[in-house]
Structure 1
Amino acid sequence: MVNGIMDTGDFDDGSFWLFVDPPPGIYRLTIFGLSSIVFGYVFIILKLLTKWRYTTKISPTMESGRKINVLTKTLMRALHRVSINRTASRSLASAATKAALLASNESIARKRILVDLALETAMLIQILEDGSPLVLVAVFTFIIVANATGCALIIFFPLKKAALIENIVDLMFDLLVTVGYPMLSVWYCLSTFSFDRAKLAINLKVFPQGWLETSAGSIADPTQTVVIYKILGALRISSVLNFFTRIGINITLGLKFHRAMDLIDNPRKQQTGVYPKRNLVAAASLVIFAVLIAVYAEECVRTSAIACRPHPECAMHAQRWTLLENSSLSQCPCLALIDNEIAPKTYAEWTNPKNLTNKVAVLAATGDLQIIQLINRNLPELPNEVRGCTGMRYMRVEGHPAVSLVDLPNDMFDDMSVLTTLHLGFNVDLTRLPSLSGLTNLKLLVVAASLSLVELPAFDNLSKLERLVITVVPLLNTLPDLSPIKNLKSFVAMDRGAWCCNGFLGKCDLLNPLCGIHPVWGTPAAICLPANRTASIATRDIAAKFAHSICGEVLRPANAQPFPAEDTMASCNGILYRQCTFPGVPEAICYNARVMGIACTPSKFPIEMRRRQIAQGVGDPCNPEYESWLGCK
C-alpha cells in the first residue's frame, strides 16, 4: 500500500520501505477492528440512503414522557439514598453510585469529552515519540486545543439546538483526527519525497546486478527517507496502543455520525444537549487542559531539541520532554543516527575517517536508536550500548579498508527482533558475523566487500527475508540452508561465488572461472567440496530460481574498482567525472566507486553512466571544463 501511495513499487523489487510486520495478534485485532468499522459505516450509509422507510407507529405522548422522566429521577434518588445508607452493603452502595452516575446526563457528557480527548492525547504522544516534523506536531496539537476550547465554549455559552451543535462540533474534530491529519501526513510525504527516477533507470541499465548504484536505497536522500518512513509507519497499526487509539477514534466517529442522523430525523431531540450548561468548573477545566496540552507539546519539542543540539549526526529524534542536565551529552532521545561521507576528496580525508565509536555509544545510551547509517567512518566495534536499542529497525555500516569492524559479539542481534535491514559493507577484517537467530523480521541482508569472511551464520529464523545481496566475498565457499526463507524476491551474488562450481550446488567444475584464482583479489583456487557439505534441496531450488543473478562472471581487472591510492586520488583533485589515466585501459574516470574516495578508476560502467546522464539531462549539472570528453557542452 505504501509503495502505491509513494509510487515506489519498482524500487528494489518492491522492498524499498521495509516496514516491520505487526505481530499476528495485533494483525488479527486490526482485521477485526477495521471490519467492525466498515460494517458500522455500511450500516450508516444504508440508513442514510433508505431514510428508514419504516418508522415507529406509536409515539410516546408528552404526558408519558413526563412520567418516564419522573420515574428516572425517582430511580436516581433511590439509588443515591442506597449509596449513602451506611447499613447497606458496600458493594451495593458502590453499584448504586455507579448506576446513578451512568444515568446522569452530565456523566455521559464527561465520558464523551474525556474519551475523545484521551484518545487524541494518546495519539499526540505517539506523534511526538515518533519524531514527526514540527508542522505535523503543531497541526495535531492545534486540533486537540481547538477541540477542548470548543467544548468549553459550548458549555459556557449554551445555544439553541444544543444537541445538534454539540454533535456536529465533535464530529468535525473527529473527522480532522481520523481523516484530515492522515491526509496531511501523506501530502507532506509526497511533497517532500524527491527521488531522481531517471538516474536510477540509467544505473539499472548500465551497472551489473549487485552493484551499489543499482539500489534505490543508496540513491535516495537518507534523512528524507527516514522522516517519511517514520511518518508513514506512524499511520499503521503496529501495537496495542495503536490499535486502541486508531480503532477507538474511528468508533467514536461512527457513533457520532449515527447520532447526527438521529438528531436530524428527530428535531425535538436537537434542543437538549448532553453537555452541562453554564458550568464554570467544567468549562475552566477544559481550557486548562488545552493550555497544558499546548505547553506539553512545546516543552517536548524545545527540550529534546536542546538535548540533541550537540549531536548533528542525529538526523531525527523523539520529541520528548527532557529534564535537562548541565553538560550532559547522553540525554538526546535520538531515533536516527546518520553520518555519511560518500565522496572524500583528498587522500587525507580518505585515510583518516572520523571516529564515531563514542558518538554511537552516547546516542545509543537512551535505548531509543532505531536507525544507524554510517559510511566511511572509523568504527572498529559496535559499542555495547547498541544492544539496548531493541527497537532497531535499520542498520547500515559501510566501513573503511583501513579501519572497519573487526569483530561483533555473537549475541549482538539477539534482542533486535524488529530489525528489517542489515547492511554490512567494506568490513574487510571481519571474519565472521554474529548469530542472526534473533532477527525474526529481517527483510534485507547485504554483505559486501568482506574480504576475510569465510562463512555466513544460519538463516534458521529468517523466514521473512525478501532480499539477499552478497558481493565481493571471495572466501565464501558455501551458503547457509535457505529452506527457512519463504518469500525471497531477490538474490544477488557478485564476484567469485565459488559455491556455484565447487560442488555445493551439485556438480563440481573447477574449470569454471568462479573457482579459479581470483584475478583481482588473488584468492586461491577453490576445491571440490565433500558430499556432506552440499546444499539442501530447498537451497538448490532457490539457487536455480535466481541462477541468472548469483552465478555470473567473476570480477576482472578492467571492471574492478580498486581501493583509492594516494596517486589515483591526487590525479582527480576531488573532481568527479574528470578524465584521468590508468595503466592498461584507454580511458578512465574520476569516480567515488562504492562511496569510496574520489579516485581514478578503470571501470567502464561509471563512464557509460555519466555519458547517458549528460545526454538525457539527468543527475548533477555537467561541467564542460572537466566533462567535455563525456559529451558536456
Structure 2
Amino acid sequence: MVHSIGWKVAQDPARETTLASKQVTGRSWRQRRFSAIGWRYVMLMVLIFSLSSAWSLLLIILNLEPSKSANYILHTESLDHGHFWQSHKAASSIQVTTIALLLVVVGVYWYLLYLLLVQPPSHRIRPGEAKPRKRKILRRIPTVDKEGKQQRAWQRPVLLILRWLGRVVAKLYRSIVSADGKYRKVWHVLMEVPEVVLQILTLREYMAQGLDPSLLCCYASLMAFNAFVAFYGIQFRWNEATIHHILKDSIVDAVFAVFFPALVLFCSLSAFQDDLKTVKIRQRFFPPRMFERKARNYVNAKELDMFSTDFESLLGAMLLHSLESKRMLQRGLRAIVGFFFLVYGIGCIVYTVVAVHASRNACSSYPECVQFDYQWVPGAPNVACGCLAYVDRDLAPAESEELIDVTQTLAELASAGKLQTVQLVNRKINGSLPDTLQACRGLRNLVLIHTGVQVFPTWASSSFSKLEYLHIEGASSDADLMELPSDLFTSMTGLHTIHLSYHAYLPELPAMDGLEALECVYLGYLNSITELPSWGDLPSLQVVALEGLPQVRVLPGVEQYADSLEMFFVQDTPACCSGFLSQGDCNTSFPNCCTDDSSSLPPTCLVMPDEHNFIATNATLTVFNDFTANVSNFCDAAQATCPNAMTTLKFAEEDVCTGVLYRECSSESEGPGIGFNEDMGCVQCVHSQDLIDMRKAEISAGCTCDKVEEEWLGCT
C-alpha cells in the first residue's frame, strides 16, 4: 500500500517529537551560551568579526586593482583616461602572498562566527577521563607487553618514549587551548610579543613613508591603548573569564585591522575633494586636446602625494589582527610583564611625538618639502631632513616675473638620498640636474614643467631605476631640453608614464624597448624629432598621445598592442597626411602637408616607391580604425597647422591682468576676457567665453574663490 509523505509524517509522532526536541535543544544551548557571554557582547563580537572579514575582502580587491578601485570610489574614471591615480600593482609574489594571508584571515573570522553561532558546545570530560572515541583509539594502540610479543625487544624503549611524548604533547596542548587550561594565559601573554613587534615595525614603516603626523600619533595612541589593555588585564583582570579576554582582544584587533585603515582611507579620500571637483568641471570646458586635459597636473601636488602614500599603506598593511590568545603567570612575574606593557605604551606615544617634532624642525628651512620621513635617534646631535617629496609650483606666474632658481635647494634636499617625488613648475634649474640627485635611487616621480633644464646626466638611467612617472615639459618660447641619454630608459623597468613636450631642439628620443610596465606615452611639440624611437615589446601599453610633431611622417606599428591599447591620440602630425595611412597617397590638402609649389610634393610626404616600406601594414590600419572614427582624437584637420603658413602679427595691447588669475579683462578688438594661465604659463588675458563659463561653474559647485577679483563671476 502506497502512502503519501504527508500521511507518513502525520502517523509518525516519535519522529516529529525528535525534530521538535532538536530544535528546542538548539535554541536552549544558544540561549545558555549567549546568556553566559552576554547578549550585548555577542552582538559586538558578531559585528567585529563581520566587519573584519568584510574589510579583509576589501583589501583583497584593493590589492588586485588599486587604480580601478580608487577610480570607482572617487568617480575619476573620466580623468586622464582612467590613469589619474597611477597606482601601480605590487609584484606578483607580494600580491599572491598578501592575498593568501588575507584569505586566511577571512577564513579565521568566519570560523569564529561558526564557533559562536552554529557549533553546539561539547560535553565536558573530567580530568583523567577520555572520550569514547579516544578510548577506542587507545585500545587499538598496543601496550608495551603486547608490543613485546609483536616486535623485537630493542623496540620497547622507543615505543615507551614515543607514547610518553605523545601524552605530554596532548596534555600541554589541552592546558594551552582549553578554556580552563593551566597555561592558557601564559600563551596569551606570549602571543602579545609578536603582535608588539609587528606594531613597532608597522609604525616605523609608516614614519618612513611620511604618513600624516596626525595619523602617526593616532596609530601610536592605538599601540598605547593595546599595551594598556594588556597591562590592565595582567594586573587587575587575571582571573577574568576567557571569553572576556577574547572579546577584548577582538576589539583591539578590530581597531588595528578595521578602524585605523578605514581612518586612513577616509583621510585620503577627503584630502582634496575640492581639487577633484575643479578638474572634473574643467574636463567639460577644456578643448579636446590631450595635453591641456591632463588632470593630474592641476590638482594639489601635496595632497595627491599624501593620497598615494596613504592608499599604498593600505595595500601593504600588516595583518596584525590575525593574532589571538593569552593566559597564566605567577604574581611576581605578572607585575614585571604588566609594567613592561605600561612602559611600552607610554614609550610609543613619546617616541612618535618627539620624532615628529624633531623631523619638522629639521625640515622647517624647506617649506617646499611637503612630505618627509619621521626619525629620531636618542643621543644623536642633529636630525637631517629626510625629504620624500619636494614640490615647488607657481601655477599662475606674472609675465614679468623671473623664474626662481631652485637648483641649490634641490641639491641640498637630494643629499639625504630619500627623495621619492620631485615636482617643479615654473621654477628654474641651471642646465642639468644636480649631481646629489644621483643618490636618490628611490625616486619614483619626476615632474619638471617650465624649468629650463637642458641636459639629463648620464647617470640618470642607473640612479632612477625605480622611476615610475616622468614628465618633462618645456616652454614654447625657450630651448629647454636639448639632450637625453640614449640609454635613459634601459633600467627603468617600473616606468609606467612618459610625458615629453615643448622641447623644440631635442634631436632624438631614447629607445623604449623593454619597458614592461609602460602604460602611457605623451609626446608633443618636439619640432626637431624626425622619427619616433623603437618601441619593441610594451605589453602594458594603454594610452598613446602624439601631437605637434611637424617632422614625423610615420607612426610606429601598433598591431602587437591591439589587446592592451585603449587610446591612440594623433593630432597636428604629418603622419596623418604623408601617405602612411593611405597606401602612399599624400594628401596635400591637409594642413600638415601643405605646399606653396603645386609642382612638387612637400617634404612631409612619403616618396614613392622609395619609401614604400614605411606604409602602415594592414594589421596596423585595423588597430587604427578603432580610433579614426573620433576625429577630435585622430587626425583632425581643424587642429593641424601648415608649416608654410604666415603668422599674422597682432598689436600687443596692455594686459590688465598682471598675473592675477580670473581677473576680469577686456579688449576693444576681441571683447571680454579672463585672466588665465594656459598650459601653466604666465597669466594673461584670454578672450574665451568657455573659460569664463568654466570658472562660473567651478564657483557654483562650491570651489574656493577670491571675493574681490571674482565678484564678476558670482563669487560671494
TM, length-normalised to structure 2? 0.68
Q: Does 1:502 align with 2:578?
A: yes
Matching of residues 284-323 of structure 1 within 5 Å: 284-321=339-376
Q: Does 1:550 align with 2:634?
A: yes
Q: Take 1:614 and 1:313, find their aligned partners in 2: how far apart are those partners?
A: 31
Q: Take 2:616 and 2:641, find their aligned partners in 1: how far apart are those partners?
A: 31
SS where residue 307 of structure 2 aligns? helix
CA contact (8 A) 1:341 1:375 kept: yes
Q: Does 1:144 align with 2:223?
A: yes
SS where residue 217 of structure 1 aligns? helix
1:135 maps to which of 201, 211, 214: 214
1:608 maps to 690
2:521 maps to 445
1:283 maps to which of 321, 334, 338: 338
Q: CA deviation at 1:287?
A: 2.6
Q: Take 1:423 and 1:10, find their aligned partners in 2: how far apart are those partners?
A: 19
Q: CA deviation at 1:114?
A: 0.8
Q: CA deviation at 1:344?
A: 1.2
Change (3 A) 1:353 1:617: closer
Q: Take 1:7 and 1:334, find their aligned partners in 2: how far apart are those partners?
A: 31
Q: Take 2:552 and 2:714, find their aligned partners in 1: how far apart are those partners?
A: 41
SS where residue 306 of structure 1 aligns? helix
Q: CA deviation at 1:481?
A: 3.9
Q: Take 2:380 and 2:589, find their aligned partners in 1: how far apart are those partners?
A: 64
2:411 maps to 361
Matching of residues 528-607 of structure 1 within 5 Å: 528=606, 530-535=611-616, 539-547=620-628, 548=630, 549-553=633-637, 555=639, 570=655, 572-577=657-662, 578-581=664-667, 590-601=675-686, 606-607=688-689
Q: CA deviation at 1:184?
A: 0.8
1:71 maps to none
% identity of equivalent residues: 23
SS where residue 214 of structure 1 aligns? coil
Q: Take 1:386 and 1:468, find their aligned partners in 2: how far apart are those partners?
A: 29
Q: Take 1:442 and 1:321, find their aligned partners in 2: how far apart are those partners?
A: 38
CA contact (8 A) 2:699 2:714 kept: no
Q: CA deviation at 1:280?
A: 2.5
Change (3 A) 1:130 1:632: closer
Deviations 1:272-301 (A, max 9, x none): 934554523212222332333333323432
SS where residue 109 of structure 2 aligns? helix
Q: Does 1:345 align with 2:426?
A: no
Q: Take 2:423 and 2:548, find their aligned partners in 1: how far apart are those partners?
A: 21
Q: CA deviation at 1:353?
A: 1.4
Q: Take 2:671 and 2:297, find their aligned partners in 1: how far apart are those partners?
A: 29
2:586 corresponds to which letter in structure 1? D
CA contact (8 A) 2:673 2:692 kept: no
Q: Take 2:594 and 2:681, find their aligned partners in 1: how far apart are those partners?
A: 26
Q: Does 1:19 align with 2:87?
A: yes
2:111 maps to 43
1:251 corresponds to which letter in structure 2? S
Q: Does 1:176 align with 2:255?
A: yes
SS where residue 337 of structure 1 aligns? strand
SS where residue 389 of structure 2 aligns? strand
Q: CA deviation at 1:183?
A: 1.1
Matching of residues 76-87 of structure 1 within 5 Å: none
Q: Take 1:567 and 1:474, find their aligned partners in 2: how far apart are those partners?
A: 28
Q: CA deviation at 1:24?
A: 1.5
CA contact (8 A) 1:515 1:525 kept: no
Unaligned runs of 5+ in 1: 66-94, 260-271
Change (3 A) 1:553 1:581: farther
Q: Take 1:482 and 1:187, find their aligned partners in 2: how far apart are those partners?
A: 41
SS where residue 573 of structure 1 aligns? coil
1:61 maps to which of 126, 129, 138: 126
CA contact (8 A) 1:579 1:588 kept: yes
2:614 corresponds to which letter in structure 1? R
SS where residue 202 of structure 2 aligns? helix
Deviations 1:147-188 (A, max 9, x none): 122212322224432533332332221111100001111221
CA contact (8 A) 1:11 1:216 kept: yes
1:365 corresponds to which letter in structure 2? S
Q: Does 1:398 align with 2:449?
A: yes
Matching of residues 161-560 of structure 1 within 5 Å: 161-195=240-274, 199-237=278-316, 242=317, 245-246=318-319, 249-252=320-323, 256=324, 273-274=327-328, 277-278=331-332, 279-321=334-376, 331-347=384-400, 349=401, 352-379=402-429, 380-399=431-450, 400=475, 401-402=477-478, 404-437=480-513, 439-483=515-559, 485=561, 486-494=563-571, 496-507=572-583, 508-516=585-593, 526-528=604-606, 530-535=611-616, 539-547=620-628, 548=630, 549-553=633-637, 555=639
1:112 corresponds to which letter in structure 2? M
CA contact (8 A) 1:622 1:632 kept: yes
CA contact (8 A) 2:290 2:569 kept: no
Q: Take 1:414 and 1:28, find their aligned partners in 2: how far apart are those partners?
A: 28
Q: CA deviation at 1:56?
A: 3.7
CA contact (8 A) 2:519 2:540 kept: yes
Q: CA deviation at 1:384?
A: 4.3
Q: Take 1:298 and 1:442, find their aligned partners in 2: how far apart are those partners?
A: 41
Q: Take 1:318 and 1:537, find their aligned partners in 2: how far apart are those partners?
A: 54
1:78 maps to none
Greater RCO, 1 or 2 (C-alpha within 8 Å, sep 6+)? 1
Change (3 A) 1:582 1:235: farther
1:154 maps to which of 233, 237, 258: 233
Change (3 A) 1:203 1:615: closer
Deviations 1:434-475 (A, max 9, x none): 344464333333333333334443333543233333333333
509-518 or 182-191: bigger deviation: 509-518
SS where residue 475 of structure 1 aligns? coil
Change (3 A) 1:119 1:425: same
Q: Take 2:555 and 2:516, find their aligned partners in 1: how far apart are those partners?
A: 19
Deviations 1:10-66 (A, max 9, x none): 32222211111111112222332233233333333333332x24x545x3214559x
Change (3 A) 1:371 1:501: same
Q: CA deviation at 1:203?
A: 3.2
1:68 maps to none
Q: CA deviation at 1:592?
A: 1.3
Q: Take 1:569 and 1:434, find their aligned partners in 2: how far apart are those partners?
A: 43
Q: Take 1:127 and 1:294, find their aligned partners in 2: how far apart are those partners?
A: 14
1:460 corresponds to which letter in structure 2? G
Q: Take 2:93 and 2:102, find their aligned partners in 1: how far apart are those partners?
A: 14
Q: CA deviation at 1:144?
A: 0.8
Q: Take 2:441 and 2:193, find their aligned partners in 1: how far apart are those partners?
A: 34
1:80 maps to none
SS where residue 546 of structure 1 aligns? helix
Rg bigger for which structure? 2
2:449 corresponds to which letter in structure 1? E
Change (3 A) 1:37 1:311: same
Change (3 A) 1:324 1:436: farther
Q: Take 2:595 and 2:204, find their aligned partners in 1: how far apart are those partners?
A: 56
Q: Take 1:121 and 1:462, find their aligned partners in 2: how far apart are those partners?
A: 41
CA contact (8 A) 1:517 1:525 kept: no
Q: Take 1:389 and 1:565, find their aligned partners in 2: how far apart are those partners?
A: 47
The aligned length equals: 559
